[in-house]
C-alpha cells in the first residue's frame, strides 16, 4: 500500500517558469490537500478538494492552480514561478471524518531562482 505518492522530490525553477507537482493516493480518500511549509512555519493550505471535480481555495492560493479529475490524483500547477514560491510542498489525503488523520506525501522541495 503506497499511500500518498508525490513527485518530484526536488526541483529548481527559474523565475517565470511553470511546473506541475504530481500527487496520487491509493486509499480512496475523497479529501485531498496541498500545503506549503516555509522554514519555522506551519503548514499553510493552498488548495483542497473534497472529491473528483470539486476544488476550492485555501489560505494561500495565489500563483497556484489545481484540478481533480479522478479520486486518486490531485496535481498542483505553478504558473510563472516567483521566488516567494520557494518552499516545501506537501500533498495529503484524508478520510474526511473527525477522527481520521491526514496522510502526507514525502514532500517536494522547490527552489525558484
Partner 1 sequence: QKEVEQNSGPLSVPEGAIASLNCTYSDRGSQSFFWYRQYSGKSPELIMFIYSNGDKEDGRFTAQLNKASQYVSLLIRDSQPSDSATYLCAVKGGSYIPTFGRGTSLIVHP
> Which residues make up the interface to partner 1 (CB under 8 A)?
31, 33, 35, 40-43, 45, 48, 59, 90, 94, 96-99, 101-102, 104-107
* C-alpha–C-alpha distance, residues 50 and 106, integer Å: 21
Beta carbon of residue 92, minimum distance to partner 1 (angstroms, whole number)? 8
Using the 8-state DSSP alphabet, how is residue 98 labeled? T
Could you give the C-alpha distances from 2 to 67, 74, 82, 104, 107, in angstroms and in order?
22, 16, 32, 11, 14
- Cβ closer to partner 1: 17 or 45? 45
Q: Kindly report the number of other CB atoms within 10 A of residue 82's CB atom.
A: 14
- Cβ closer to partner 1: 82 or 88? 88
Beta carbon of residue 74, minimum distance to partner 1 (angstroms, whole number)? 14
- Cβ closer to partner 1: 38 or 70? 38
Amino acid at each position: 500500500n503506497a499511500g500518498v505518492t508525490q513527485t518530484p522530490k526536488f526541483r529548481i525553477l527559474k523565475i517565470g517558469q511553470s511546473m506541475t507537482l504530481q500527487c496520487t493516493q491509493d486509499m480512496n480518500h475523497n479529501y485531498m490537500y496541498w500545503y506549503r511549509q516555509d522554514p519555522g512555519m506551519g503548514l499553510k493550505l493552498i488548495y483542497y478538494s473534497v472529491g473528483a471535480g470539486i476544488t476550492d481555495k485555501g489560505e494561500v492560493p495565489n500563483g497556484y492552480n489545481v484540478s481533480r479529475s479522478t479520486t486518486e490524483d490531485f496535481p498542483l500547477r505553478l504558473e510563472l514561478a516567483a521566488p516567494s514560491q520557494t518552499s516545501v510542498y506537501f500533498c495529503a489525503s484524508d478520510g474526511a471524518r473527525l477522527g481520521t488523520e491526514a496522510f502526507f506525501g514525502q514532500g517536494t522541495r522547490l527552489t525558484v531562482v
